[in-house]
Amino acid sequence: MIPLNFDALFHAFDEGLQPEDVIRQVYARIREVADPGIFISLRDEEDVLEEVRGLGPRDAARPLWGVPFAVKDNIDVAGLPTTAACPAWEYAPAEDAFVVARLREAGAVVIGKTNLDQFATGLVGVRTPYGAPRNAIDPEIVPGGSSGGSGVAVAHGIVSFALGTDTAGSGRVPAALNNIVGLKPTLGSLSASGSVPACRSVETISVFGLTVADAYRAYRVAAIFDPADSYAKRVETRALGQPPSGLRIGVPDAATLKTFGDTVQEDSFHASLALLEDAGHRIVQMDFSPFYDVAEMLYEGAWVAERHSVIEELLERDPEAVLPVTRQIICKAEQLSATDAFRGFYRLKDLARKVEGPLSDIDILCVPTIPTFYTVTDLERDPVGPNSNLGTYTNFVNLLDMCGLAVPVPPRTDGRPGSVTLLGAAGEDARLAEVALALESAGTRSLGATGWPFA
């Protein structure tokens, strides 16, 4: 089986591998994994084979020629339904989402639409009526969400990369739980045209990859300004250079590091910080309390109401079409007023001002991607608490207009995947990726759950 990370795949193309061979491997892998929870809709294998036969010769103008990818099912792909994991919401898009179209123009090949927490509301990946995907590393652990299907598809080596979305960490938490990379770009750099928003003002399409370079390369292809998206921004991207050194990296201090009693996770994080120090960076201990205060804002006031605005008509027409836990979270907005929303905006501004000083003293942040692990059984006992805890280091990021990159680090001492997230100011996507290059190459690890070595 050919590894599907970009370098290995492109080398195989250079040696004569044909895209048809890749597609046959993709579908063979889907059958081998045998997890019906990964995809909500899947293109027919013969249709995809016919598409790749028409790709024509490989050329530099199509840097993703023959690369298979998957798309979270709240992002449109022409010819496949969009459901946002709610059958009553299903519609048939007439065209690809802007980002999907850019990737296909670059030669990438859509395989199918992946499962998610309904209406992208959740970090666990099990809030879906289509049957939750199984974590690729350990089926007892939640797959992560809301982009769980995308994360699991990449981790199994079914596709080379996948699109997710990220409001509260949905493009980062599944990466940590499945031993892959999760790139949450600068807000506005990837067009939202053709996607079902959760919180449009603080949400972005995200990218999962087997390696940092893969995720960043796919991001760079898709990061084209879309004037039709009123939240889009002109963000310059550049090719990655060598990993830098000498950065001041802010981290939670001992008093504010949260792992909910998971000492193995704490040790893994400290080992990752040692890797950063070995790379020539300086670790700066910080009081993270203000960041946690910002994180609590995401499911209060204005941003819950923003989720409600998307599905208000469905809730009025057919409330039972929305899963009970999803409905419980989003319908809190019905008790809020416009006055409450403005109070929330003002509080966020006050909290953001409090972190300006600490952030001015550092170059980037490094945090555990997740504070600890939760099982499917844990979520059956308590569908809300573990989900909230998984957002400890992710919920504040978009509210503060930061970019983020979840990167695998050496496995924990108990064998579970290690992951940290690098966070930077808007526009610092390339610098985060360059720092992450050194982190992901530490120790010996395989890509996702594939057994393919990182090289």
The pLDDT tens digits of the residues spanning 250-268 come to 999 999 999 999 999 999 9
Q: How far is CA 96 from the centre of its chain?
A: 20
Tell me the pLDDT band of 302, cut-offs 50, 70 and 90.
confident
**Residue bearing tokens 């208000």:** 312
Cβ neighbours of 452 (radius 10 Å): 17
Q: Break the chain into its structural domains and give their ranges.
A: 23-222, 248-439
Q: Stretch 418-438: mean pLDDT, rounded?
A: 97
Reported as a pLDDT band with limits 50, 70 and 90, residue 399 is very high
Using alpha carbons, select from 369, 337, 348, 19 the residue that is nearest to residue 202.
348
DSSP state of 17: -
pLDDT at 17: 96
Whole-number average pLDDT of the chain: 97
Q: Which fold has domain 23-222?
A: Amidase signature (AS) enzymes (3.90.1300)
Q: For the chain, how far is it from start to end, CA to CA, in angstroms? A: 16
Confidence band of 147 (pLDDT split at 50, 70, 90) = very high
**With contact defined as beta carbons under 8 Å apart, do 169 and 199 qualify?**
no
pLDDT at 227 (0 to 100): 97
| Residues annotated catalytic, as ranges | 72, 146, 170
Across 298-438, where does the E strand assignment appear? 364-368, 402-409, 418-425
pLDDT digits (tens, 9 = 90+) for 337-372: 999 999 999 999 999 999 999 999 999 999 999 999
Token output for 15: 């040696």
Average pLDDT over residues 91-118: 98
In this model, does residue 16 exceed pLDDT 90? Answer: yes
Say how far apart CA 410 and CA 414 lie, in whole Å.
Answer: 11
Going by C-beta distance under 8 Å and a sequence separation of 6 or more, which residues neighbour residue 153?
A: 38, 39, 70, 114, 159, 162
In this prediction, residues 30-48 reach a mean pLDDT of 98
Are domains 23-222 and 248-439 of this chain identical in fold? yes
CATH topology of domain 248-439: Amidase signature (AS) enzymes (3.90.1300)
208, two tokens: 């999962």
CA distances (Å), origin 53, targets 16, 71, 100, 119, 257:
14, 21, 20, 35, 52
pLDDT over threshold 80, residue 301: no
Percent of the chain whose pLDDT exceeds 70: 100
Percent of the chain surpassing pLDDT 90: 98
Q: Does 300 score more than 90 pLDDT?
A: no
**Hey, CA dihedral for 25, 28, 33, 39, is it positive or negative?**
positive
